Structure 1
Amino acid sequence: MIFETFLTGAILGFSMAAPIGPIGILCIQKTLNFGKLHGFASGFGAATADAIYGVIAAFGLTIISNYFIENAFFLKVVGGVFLIYLGINLLKSSKNLDINREIKKENLMLTYLNTFFLTLTNPMTIIYFTLLFSGFVVPKSGYYMSLILVIGIFSGSILWSGFLTLVSSKFSKKCSSYMEKINKISGMLLIAFALFIFSSALKQF
Structure 2
Amino acid sequence: MTTLFDIPWHFPAGLLIGFAAAAPLGPVNLIVLRRALSGGSRPALGIGLGAALGDALFATVAAFGLGALASLMDAHVVPLRFIGGTAMLLFAVLLWRTHPHLDAPDAKPIPARRVALAVLAMTITNPATLLFFASAVAAVGVENLGHASFAARLNSGLLVAGAFAGSMLWWGVVCLIARQLRGRLTDHHLLLINHAAAALLALFGLAALGSAMQAAGWI
Give the distance between the partners of 1:145 and 1:95, measured in 2 at CA. Answer: 44
> How much does 1:202 deviate?
2.4
- 1:155 maps to 165
Greater fraction of residues in helix: 1
> How much does 1:182 deviate?
1.2
Question: Is the Cα contact below 8 Å between 1:38 and 1:111 reproduced in 2?
Answer: no
- 1:165 maps to 175
12-21 or 91-100: which moved more?
A: 91-100
Give the counterpart letter for 1:3 in structure 2. Answer: P
Matches within 5 A, 1:78-117: 78-94=83-99, 98-100=104-106, 107-117=111-121
- 1:44 maps to 49
> How much does 1:35 deviate?
0.9
- 1:195 maps to 206
Give the counterpart letter for 2:204 in structure 1. Answer: F
Question: Is the Cα contact below 8 Å between 1:14 and 1:156 reproduced in 2?
Answer: yes
Give the distance between the partners of 2:144 and 2:156, measured in 1 at CA. Answer: 6
TM-score when normalising by structure 1: 0.90
Q: Percent identity between the aligned chains?
A: 27
> How much does 1:39 deviate?
1.4
Pairing partner for 1:129 from 133, 141, 147: 133
Structure index of larger Rg: 2
> How much does 1:138 deviate?
4.4
Give the distance between the partners of 1:145 and 1:64, measured in 2 at CA. Answer: 20
Name the SS of the counterpart of 2:34 in structure 1: helix
Structure 2: give runs of 5+ residues left out of the alignment. 1-5, 146-150
> How much does 1:65 deviate?
1.1
Structure 1: give runs of 5+ residues left out of the alignment. none
> How much does 1:99 deviate?
4.4
Give the distance between the partners of 1:46 and 1:10, measured in 2 at CA. Answer: 15
Question: Is the Cα contact below 8 Å between 1:5 and 1:139 reproduced in 2?
Answer: no
**Aligned residues, how many?**
203
> How much does 1:199 deviate?
2.1
> How much does 1:121 deviate?
1.3
- 1:143 maps to 153
